[in-house]
Amino acid sequence: MAERMHILRNASWLVAWDEASESHVYRRDVDLAFSDDTITAIGDVDAVPDADEIDARGFIVLPGFVDIHAHPSSEPMLKGLTDEVGSHQLYMSSLYEYLPLFENDDEGRRASNEVALCELLQSGVTTVCDLSAERDDWLDTLGESGIRAYAAPGFRSGRWYTTNGHEVRYEWNEAAGRDGLDRALRFIDRARQHPSGRLSGMVYPAQADTCTEELLRDAAAASRECGLPLQIHAAQSVVEFHEIMRRRGKTPIEFLGSVGILGPNAILGHAIFLDHHSWLHWPTRNDLARLADTGTTVAHCPTVFSRRGITLEDVGAYRRAGVNLGIGTDTFPHNFVEEMRTAAIVARVTAGNADTVTTADIFAAATVGGAKALARPDLGQLAIGAKADFVMVDAEHPAMRPLYDPIRSLIYSAGERAVRHVFVDGRQVVRDGKTLAFDYVDAVARLEAAQRRAIEKVPRFDWGRRPASEIMPPTLREFPPSDPRRGAHALLTPPEVR
């Protein structure tokens, strides 16, 4: 059966890939044709009998964004809770004292996943790396969403914890780490065989400081043997830097290089605390070059760290050193356009220089940078032979106008509000700004119920047995005081249905 041709007609603007300059370029008043899941023509496309024609006048057509670091099954539930927390005695990190406080149940993880996928798609993401704990319905949820996904089931040899808020300890179970790697590889095989044809996998040893050297070596070998990307959290806190230095006499980057993790298929989640970072006052300056020389990618997720006063130093310096960068949404909201905006602004503030990074640099990281990390030259660009993953932005949306530069207007002004339609693999997954697969409002309601359940359990996970209201009190006190058992959620429910 012949594949049906689809043609976007007269796109007001189209961000095309120019192979000669290896960069994105604007094109005006052009057509884009795709058949099944592949772009077949860009320019003046002749009429084709029985082709499905889409009027693209008044639209800006962009390549779909590639999100290389996200935790959709857990992070959305933390909205309103962890926005401002950072451990004062652990260099402002929220990892050790606050991250373990919230236990999401199966129903909550499903709702969380749906909320995040809606937000990702509605902000133009067509490919996501989903770093989550394995669960039975995970692959089917990803498949149902319509997104292109790399499922990354995490595994590790130990876990961190604190008994006092100022000392980090580790509890080890090496057998669990080895078993976790085996389970992850079996799960990834299932992802690759998923009937949607859009799912793959990623080897994900969770953190540099929670995996043994043996497990890291085995994970690196498995990823290369299976032709899979690998991702690990590394250099994400001062605590971790000093812990790895204490154990190994090496920086985290140096240590990962010594066990075979670094390389073109490797993505480091965050890679902030390299030996040049000002918070470390370290005498060497070798880590950036190590990343560049090995072709390792950094997943840059500025929002979650900037909320705690932590920044990568800086995006421009990493790019000038030759390090490949992609963008991730490590926290709520899973709004990729906002993440791009934050990446640009935080880089300039950190460097004290408006020229350290350009909007073109950020856009490249969000598209071809992420695609390079996944070894997918068919993603992140609009070119003949590339996947038909694209975003249609409303050029006439008031927040986009006056329209001088479409990408700047989108990133710095309109945000996801101007994203109207999104296609993945040639199939529409967002129409008129709404995800087609899931009911966003319903998913949020189910997530809110899950958050209430998780809040009730916080004292059992906190070292001081404190309730959430004490650890992370609301922005304003309630007046007059209400029954503390009600919580903020009771205020959202009309009295007649409480």
Give CA–CA dist 178/164, Å, rounded: 30
Residue 485 pLDDT greater than 70, yes or no: no
**Cβ density class 455-471: b for 16+ within 10 Å, e for less:** beebeeebbeeeebeeb
Give CA–CA dist 283/278, Å, rounded: 11
The token pair that represents 43 in the structure block: 């320019």
Say which residues have a Cβ less than 8 Å from residue 257's Cβ, sequence separation at least 6: 290, 294
Q: Say whether 96 sits in a helix, a strand or coil.
A: coil
Q: What is the mean predicted confidence (pLDDT) over 14-38? A: 97
Residue 418 pLDDT greater than 60, yes or no: yes
Range name among 114-128, 204-218, 447-461, 473-487 with the lowest pLDDT average: 473-487
Show the CA angle centred on residue 11, arms to residues 6 and 15, nearest 5°: 100
Q: What is the mean predicted confidence (pLDDT) over 457-471? A: 97
Residue 324 pLDDT greater than 80, yes or no: yes
Show the CA angle centred on residue 212, arms to residues 206 and 214, nearest 5°: 115
333: cis peptide before it, omega within 30°?
yes
Instruction: Specify the pLDDT at position 215.
Output: 98
The token pair that represents 284 in the structure block: 């060497």
Which residues are paired to 59 by β-bridges?
394
Band (pLDDT 50/70/90 cuts) for residue 480 is confident
Residue 497 pLDDT greater than 60, yes or no: no
Threshold 0.85, pTM exceeds: yes
- pLDDT, tens digit (0-9, with 9 covering 90-100), for 52-110: 999 999 999 999 999 999 999 999 999 999 999 999 999 999 999 999 999 999 999 99
Instruction: Specify the pLDDT at position 486.
Output: 54
Band (pLDDT 50/70/90 cuts) for residue 498 is very low
Task: Give the rounded percent of residues in the chain with a pLDDT score beyond 70.
Answer: 96
Q: Check: CB of residue 62 under 8 Å from CB of residue 398.
A: no
Residue 493 pLDDT greater than 50, yes or no: no
Give CA–CA dist 139/148, Å, rounded: 11
Say which residues have a Cβ less than 8 Å from residue 488's Cβ, sequence separation at least 6: 80, 474
Instruction: Specify the pLDDT at position 4.
Output: 84
The token pair that represents 265 in the structure block: 């298929």
Amino acid identity of 326? Answer: G
Which residues are paired to 112 by β-bridges?
none
Residue 278 pLDDT greater than 50, yes or no: yes
Strand pairing class (199-201; 204-205) = unpaired
The token pair that represents 489 in the structure block: 């959620």
Residue 391 pLDDT greater than 90, yes or no: yes
Band (pLDDT 50/70/90 cuts) for residue 494 is very low
Instruction: Specify the pLDDT at position 490.
Output: 46
Amino acid identity of 399? Answer: A
Band (pLDDT 50/70/90 cuts) for residue 2 is low
In the numeric block, the tokens 């580790």 are attached to: 170
Q: What is the mean predicted confidence (pLDDT) over 406-433? A: 98
In the numeric block, the tokens 């400081």 are attached to: 209
Q: Say whether 112 sits in a helix, a strand or coil.
A: helix
Q: Check: CB of residue 324 under 8 Å from CB of residue 372.
A: yes
Band (pLDDT 50/70/90 cuts) for residue 464 is very high
> What is the total residue count of the chain?
498
Instruction: Specify the pLDDT at position 487.
Output: 52
Q: Check: CB of residue 379 under 8 Å from CB of residue 64.
A: yes
Task: Give the rounded percent of residues in the chain with a pLDDT score beyond 90.
Answer: 94
Instruction: Specify the pLDDT at position 201.
Output: 98
According to DSSP, residue 207 is labeled B
Instruction: Specify the pLDDT at position 455.
Output: 97
Q: What is the mean predicted confidence (pLDDT) over 384-390? A: 98
Give CA–CA dist 416/341, Å, rounded: 11
CA atoms within 13 A on the CB side of 106: 5
The token pair that represents 132 in the structure block: 């989550």
CA torsion sign, 229 to 232 to 233 to 239? negative
Q: What is the mean predicted confidence (pLDDT) over 176-183? A: 98
Mean pLDDT of the chain: 95
Residue 312 pLDDT greater than 50, yes or no: yes
The token pair that represents 364 in the structure block: 């490249």
Give CA–CA dist 96/240, Å, rounded: 10
